[in-house]
Chains A and B, each alone.
Chain A
């Protein structure tokens, strides 16, 4: 009868839920209409590699989950190139949706699907069923023939390219019109697809591409395919630069120009500055290549003399007649001027300029893997983010932030308000003043006391901030300090950076007027970028060009390009020699003097190409193996591309800027390459503590071995373990042991497993069943092994049941319900929870409480401790968990470590107390030994 009620109750609940969910579920409109209004437009300001696809989103009632975009170069096979996920509940608020297919986008890599497959779920007999495909597969027979329809860029791990590529010579035989046979052979580097990081594609300008979009709803129903539309990307002229300023400085006889950088960065070649004379005629007076793919400099200094060289009649006296403009030119030589009307120059002198940043220094950034240079400059500074009064205006709270660097490391700061000064011994970012409510202050002065190891700070150096109370908004307004409109640009150039003549500096960072230090990231070059020149379907190989760049540190050429393989080098040399020989032959037959000199010229050029090789490359070429050669070249290359020289430019962004000289250190070093460091200085104190601890452990173990009686504080929870096992034996019920719910990398799990070993052994001795549910599948075999060993040790291998240690699930709460079920069904007499736990802890222990089991828990999870303490009979708190196995084994080695732990803790407590006392006495040196995280 009772059972019947239960079943009835269950059925009622289920039907109720079902009804509720049915009535709550909104109506779904079938997904049977294609997307409308699909349009394609050209992507602006690019190199003809971008299209923008727009369409009208389907109504919210259709519960669309995602829109899939397909592309192809013919209308009869379209591949999925992307999707736009949509929230099916809210739909799309906007009236159009957009997908941008611009720049280099993913094409294939080793993780792409193996086979060409049709897009699933299409309506039978529809066009879509025939022409839609999933992503591009990694099958070379499919993707390789498509390569020619796109621009291709491959990303290859440098090591794979340099050491694992296969050389391939491809000879092309052409029969010329006069019947002679011309053979041209080219060398390629062959790589398998899996050796590439990935292959990227970009649209080709002038080629027609086809697109279609399909909507997928919440139930994976596909809408009919939209109309297939096509478009041809066009190479556009570059965008207009938003800002441009020109300033003439009459005293230094030079002009300074400054402009904003373009938003679309991919297609740009050059900045050109033009002067318009009184007749409105245009003269180019300055031109500089952009630093693409890096950020370009956004300013230039041009002397009057240089202008005169370009535009003879230039006279600086007539500056007011001249107008200026700047243009951006792209790689197709299309040019866009920034201003519709050229602008006049602001005529001024350098007196308006601020002082350049002082004490500019570059050095290796400490404590890193060798990918940062540290740049610093200027005297210390303090920023005041907020000033506030208390309710009755008797106290002023100032929040501050110290900005300093290696040269002036601030030790203390002195703040002064209305003649009252406060010395901040501990720089805790806030300082308080007592003020007169009737006479509120309006100025705060800051002075600094620096450590001795840097430069000496002038006595009178102070930073002043002015502020006033705003009655209306009830806040304190802080005036921006003088010079706040100036920022500092860091500019850098490496050894292959186009050479000093090209003068193309990169612009990695702009710092605000408050900053004093900047770690400049210099990444390791781990990949190379190459195009694909050819492929072989039979060999399943893709061919890329073979060349490598080495810096020369020479004036005329900044870098030298060399072949990848020794054989290739040999072949090139042979060809060159052959060419020279044939030229020489020609010369001996030639009669005309003019022809002879022309031939001489050609011979000389080729000879220099053959002989004029940078020393490193010569040295490398002498190596016997390809690998040794490339190793040497790679080392040189990495050194060249990662060695930078720097200068700083302080600018207001409007043509008023001033530079520091290029930094050279005391040894005359100009280029700086970050060094990988072997020791983290910040971790010194950790290392010392670890060594002390190690020594303590060593001595304590020795003492324990010698039989010295080490006293260890008794822990109730551990002493009760035996009794708890005994209780289970008496009651004839099993023991439950949960070794935490974390993985094996958690030390708490290891500690829990160590206890499991002891408990399992005792249980085996008493012939009591032990159940070990496990949440982590790596912990499972270990726990099984431990329990098995315990049974062997106890001499009862027969009682070991492998299935008593089992995996439940990885899902947190499902695991809990599993464990709770075991407790209730098996009526376990004793429950152990040892290890790391999260929110599931209370759910388990409360159930254990309900079944009346004795519960012993041990965890280092601070948030769960309260739950364990309130619901378990005994709880091992934090470190006691780790100590438990030592207590149980009573081995001298393990006891020794425990004792050492106690001493170490004592030392830590001593240093905490000492630090507190010392910093209360305003002695901060001790505190500073321990760096904050």
Chain B
């Protein structure tokens, strides 16, 4: 019973969404809108789960005096402080919450994001080795595209930007589309397996 009811819900709703794709009728559209409203409500309740988990993990760490448990205090403090700022003064422009967002959250996020450039450089340096025929091709393509994207490529020869465009539009796009095709099929198959109840891991556990 614990399994059957959720499975039934998944099956019925899954089928209904498949039907919704093919039926433009008002009934089908209204059903979809109704579902959307419910979704919004349910999703907001799930926040509690997330926050609960975060608190539990970190209080545990503090209790066990796990390594670097001091940071757990910091996490909890930030969580409580930021939420309190939001609850007390609101989240409009100019409030303490916005101040935290603009001066702590945003720059930290941007810092992490800009690390990407450095990581890309080191990853490219390590990965692009002419180990085989394919790897050599990849290497050459990468160099051409990198040059073609900046003015230096043009300064060497005006062919480079054209070749860059060709690489992006032809072989690259072809490969992308092939992967997309596979992904599409894989998604359909997985969805089908879920709707038909063949795949149930998402309910927890393997078979049964």
Contacts from A to B (Cβ < 8 Å): 65-66, 85, 216-220, 367-371, 524, 676-680, 683, 686-687, 690, 693-694, 697, 744, 747-748, 750-751, 753-754, 756-758, 761, 774, 777-778, 780-782, 785-786, 788-790, 792-793, 802-803, 805-814, 816-817, 825, 839, 842-843, 846, 849, 860, 862, 865, 867, 869-871, 877-879, 881-883, 885, 889, 891, 893-894, 897-898, 900-901, 904-905, 908
What would be 10 A-B contacts, judged by CB atoms less than 8 Å apart? A65-B94, A367-B24, A777-B50, A777-B51, A786-B205, A789-B204, A846-B122, A862-B180, A889-B206, A905-B181
The 3 A-B pairs at the shortest CB distance, nearest first, are namely A789-B205, A777-B50, A882-B186
Residues of A within 8 A of B28 (CB): 369
Residues of A within 8 A of B180 (CB): 862, 878
A849 to B119 alpha-carbon distance, docked (Å): 11
Q: How far is the CB of A834 from chain B (nearest CB, A)?
A: 12
Q: Would A369 and B25 be within 8 Å (CB), given that A750-B202, A862-B176 are in contact?
A: yes
Is the C-beta of B137 less than 8 angstroms from some C-beta in chain A? no
Instruction: Report the separation of the CA atoms of residues A908 and B198 in the bound assembly, to the nearest whole angstrom.
Output: 25
Give the residues in chain B near A679, CB-CB below 8 Å: 22-24
- Compute how far the CA of A710 lies from the CA of B69 in the bound complex, rounded to whole angstroms: 52
A852 to B192, CA, bound (A): 38
Inside 8 A of A780's CB, which chain B residues have their CB? 46, 49-50, 53
- Nearest-neighbour CB distance to chain B for A358, whole angstroms, equals 31
Nearest Cβ distance between residue B116 and chain A, in whole angstroms? Answer: 6
Task: For the complex, give the distance between the alpha carbons of A460 and B56 in Å.
Answer: 81
**How far, in angstroms, from A803 to B25 measured CA to CA in the complex?**
47
Known: A842-B120, A901-B189. A878 touches B183 (CB 8 A): yes
| CB-based contact B189/A905 at 8 Å | no
Q: Which residue of A817, A849, A860, A885 contacts B112 across the interface (Cβ within 8 Å)?
A: A817
Q: B60 on the interface (CB 8 Å rule)?
A: yes
Q: A217-B94, A781-B49, A842-B120 are in contact. Are A694 and B190 (CB under 8 A)?
A: no
With A750-B194, A757-B206, A843-B116 already in contact, 12 other A-B pairs whose C-beta atoms are closer than 8 Å: A369-B28, A676-B27, A690-B188, A694-B192, A777-B46, A777-B49, A778-B46, A785-B204, A793-B206, A817-B108, A867-B120, A878-B179
Contact (Cβ within 8 A) A790 B116: no
Q: How far is the CA of A616 from the CA of B59 in the complex (A)?
A: 70
Residues of B within 8 A of A808 (CB): 54
Option from B120, B198, B201 in Cβ contact (under 8 Å) with A757 = B201
Separation of A207 and B54 alpha carbons in the complex (Å): 57
A390-B111 Cα distance, complex, nearest whole Å: 47
Asked whether, in the complex, the Cβ of A785 is within 8 Å of the Cβ of B203, the reply is: yes
Contact of B24 among A368, A524, A891, A904 (CB under 8 A): A368
The answer to whether A803 and B57 touch (CB under 8 A), given A676-B26, A680-B23, A882-B189, is yes
Task: Assess whether A676 is in contact with B25, with CB atoms less than 8 Å apart.
Answer: yes
Interface residues of B (CB under 8 A from A): 18, 21-29, 43, 46-47, 49-51, 53-54, 56-57, 60, 67-68, 89, 93-95, 105, 108-109, 111-113, 115-116, 119-120, 122-124, 126-128, 176, 179-183, 185-194, 198-199, 201-207
- The answer to whether B189 touches A885, judged by C-beta atoms less than 8 angstroms apart, is no
Asked if A683 and B94 sit within 8 Å, CB to CB, the answer is: no
**Which residues of chain A come closer than 8 Å to B193, judged between CB atoms?**
893-894, 897
Task: Check if B190 sits within 8 Å of A812, measured CB to CB.
Answer: no
What CA separation (Å) do A680 and B28 show in the bound complex? 12
B interface SS class: helix
Contacts of A843 in B (CB 8 A): 112, 115-116, 119
A813: which B residues are within 8 A, CB to CB?
Answer: 108-109, 111-113
- Once A901-B186, A905-B182 are accepted as A-B contacts, the answer to whether A697 and B192 lie under 8 Å apart by CB is yes
Q: What's the least CB distance linking A792 to chain B, in Å?
A: 7
Contact present for B186 and A879 (CB under 8 Å): yes
Q: A807-B53, A862-B180 are in contact. Are A370 and B26 (CB under 8 A)?
A: yes
Partner of A754, one of B18, B119, B123, B201: B201
A66-B186 Cα distance, complex, nearest whole Å: 51
State whether A865 touches B179 (Cβ < 8 A).
Answer: yes
Query: Which residues of A have CB within 8 Å of B67?
Result: 825
CB–CB A782/B182 < 8 A: no
Interface centre among B60, B94, B111 (most CB of A within 10 A): B94
Contacts of A883 in B (CB 8 A): 186
Residues of B within 8 A of A860 (CB): 179, 183, 186-187
Report how far A879 CA is from B190 CA in the complex, Å.
10
Which residues in A have their C-beta under 8 angstroms from that of B112? 813-814, 816-817, 843
Which of A85, A883, A897 has the most C-beta atoms of chain B within 10 angstroms of its own C-beta? A897
Select which of B25, B116, B198 is within 8 A of A370 by beta carbon. B25
Q: Are A842 and B24 in contact (CB-based, < 8 A)?
A: no
When distances are taken between beta carbons in the complex, the residues of chain A under 8 Å from B54 are: 806-809
Contact residues in A for B187 (Cβ distance below 8 Å)? 747-748, 860, 882
Bound CA–CA A788/B204 (angstroms): 8
Residue of A nearest to B54 (CB): A807
- B51 vs chain A, min Cβ distance (A): 8
Give the distance to chain B from A693, nearest Cβ to Cβ, in Å.
7
When distances are taken between beta carbons in the complex, the residues of chain A under 8 Å from B60 are 803
Residues of A within 8 A of B199 (CB): 750, 754, 885, 894
Are B185 and A905 neighbours in the complex by a CB distance under 8 Å?
yes
Return B145 CB to nearest CB of chain A, in Å. 11
Chain A residues, CB < 8 A from B108: 813-814, 817
Residues of A with C-beta under 8 A to B21: 680, 683, 686
* B103 shortest CB reach to chain A, Å: 9
A697 and B193 alpha carbons, distance in the complex (Å): 10
Contacts known (A680-B22, A683-B21); A846 close to B119, Cβ less than 8 A: yes
Q: Which of A371, A785, A805, A870 contacts B205 (CB 8 A)?
A: A785
Report the bound CA distance from A216 to B180 in whole Å. 51
Q: Roughly how many angstroms separate A793 CA and B112 CA in the complex, as a whole number?
A: 39
Q: Tell me how far the C-beta of B197 lies from the nearest C-beta in chain A, rounded to whole angstroms.
A: 10
Known: A807-B50, A825-B67, A904-B185. A753 touches B202 (CB 8 A): yes
CB distance from B93 to the nearest CB of A (A): 5
Are B24 and A680 in contact (CB-based, < 8 A)?
A: yes
